[in-house]
Structures are given as structure tokens and as C-alpha cells.
Chain A
């Protein structure tokens, strides 16, 4: 079963617009929620992450919003740029020990930002 569901599958945004990608999780024991960015031919790289004790985390143009009661979290990319065009994955894992790298990923969103 897919424990982390991600939408949309693909997203097209104009330069300067806001990109929004949503994820929902099932296991309430998850307590670490990262977003990974992947460019073609490359491995995923950590973009930003959040713990469930906060509702929002912002790093530059990237913001995670987290709704614990709804078991949902989302990535907002402000002022989207063509260089942001990539595949984005949400993920979840359990805190502690070796668990951070044992990630459960969403299906991925292919973001295209048009100039």
C-alpha cells in the first residue's frame, strides 16, 4: 500500500508563479517529512524538511506547510524559476537511530516552469 500519496503527478507553472505540491500520509508514527529534488540523470537531493512539532518551515523560496490533524503536508515554491524544473518527491520516516534514511516516498511530481 502507498503510505505516502503525492499530487499532482505533473505541474506546469509560468516563471514567477507559485508551485504547490501536496502529500498525504497514513502512518501517524511518521515524524520526519523531507522533500527531495531530482534533476534528470541525477540522484535525489534534500531540499527542505520539517518535523511535526511545527506547522510551517521556510527556506528561501521554498516553504513546507504541515497539517498534523489532516495528515497532510505541502511544498510551496514561490517565484518559480525555470531552474526549478525537476521532479519533486515528498517522503516520510521515523525519528531516531538509523531511521532517517529509511524513507517512504511519494510517487513524485514533475514540475516544469516555463520562461
Chain B
């Protein structure tokens, strides 16, 4: 039982390049989330998806897009990467009406 799997684990991008962070969960959870973690700021919600086919903005959505491909997969896309998007990105999932969010191991992204 893998839980929440994120790929890649590390990535270096040049300013202006695009990329997609992948996330998949095998716990049959309805809700999925993307957070970014920056030193001294904790984790901040970028986007979330309450169910397959729905997505909504979180606290810091600018510069990102998401796709809920199916119940298992939720991807995060950077269309034109900027140095301010250098961060560690975490995907999480949870059952609706449940109290716990399960996190993946993160993707460390550096934009130069």
C-alpha cells in the first residue's frame, strides 16, 4: 500500500520552462490537495479537488494549474516557472468527512 506517491522527487527548471508534478493515491480518497512548503511559512494550499472532475483555488494559486485526471491522480502544472516558485511541493489526499490528510514525500523544485 503506497499511499500518496509524487513524481519527480527533485527537479531543476530554468525560468520560463514548464513542467507537471504528478501525484497519485491508492487509498480511494475523494479529496486531493497541493501544498507548497517554504522556510518560515509552513505549508500553504495551492489548489484542491473535492472529487473527480472538480478543482478549486487555495491560498496561493497564481502561476499554477491543476488537473484531476481521475479519482487517483491529481497533477500540478507550472506553465512558466519563476524563481519565486522554488519550493517543496506536497500532494495530500483524504476521504470526505474524514479528519486526516495523508501527505506524499514531496517534490523539491528549484527554478534558476
- Complex contact A105–B48 (CB within 8 A): no
- B99: A residues at CB distance < 8 A: 32, 34, 49, 100
Q: How far is the CA of A115 from the CA of B65 in the complex (A)?
A: 46
User: Is the CB–CB distance between A100 and B42 below 8 Å?
Assistant: no
Q: A45 to B52: give the CA distance in the assembly, Å.
A: 24
The answer to whether B31 and A98 touch across the interface, beta carbons within 8 angstroms, is: yes
Tell whether B96 is near chain A: CB-to-CB under 8 Å.
yes
Report B34 CB to chain A, min CB distance, Å: 11
| Interface positions of B from 80 to 105, Cβ below 8 Å from A | 90, 92-94, 96-101, 103-105
Q: Give bound CA distance, A91 to B55, whole Å.
A: 22
Given contacts A43-B90, A43-B106, contact A98 B101 (CB under 8 A): no
Provide the residues of chain A in CB contact with B40, threshold 8 Å. Answer: 9, 107-108
Which B residues are in CB contact (< 8 Å) with A108?
40, 42
- Complex A-B, nearest 6 residue pairs according to Cβ-Cβ distance, in ascending order: A43-B103, A105-B42, A98-B50, A101-B101, A101-B94, A105-B43
Interface set of B (CB-CB < 8 Å, partner A): 4, 30-31, 33, 35, 40-45, 48, 50-51, 58-59, 90, 92-94, 96-101, 103-106
29 A-B pairs with CB atoms under 8 Å apart are A6-B42, A9-B40, A32-B99, A34-B99, A42-B105, A43-B90, A43-B105, A44-B90, A46-B101, A89-B42, A96-B97, A97-B97, A98-B30, A98-B31, A98-B48, A98-B50, A98-B94, A98-B96, A100-B97, A100-B99, A101-B31, A101-B101, A102-B45, A102-B48, A103-B35, A103-B43, A106-B42, A108-B40, A108-B42
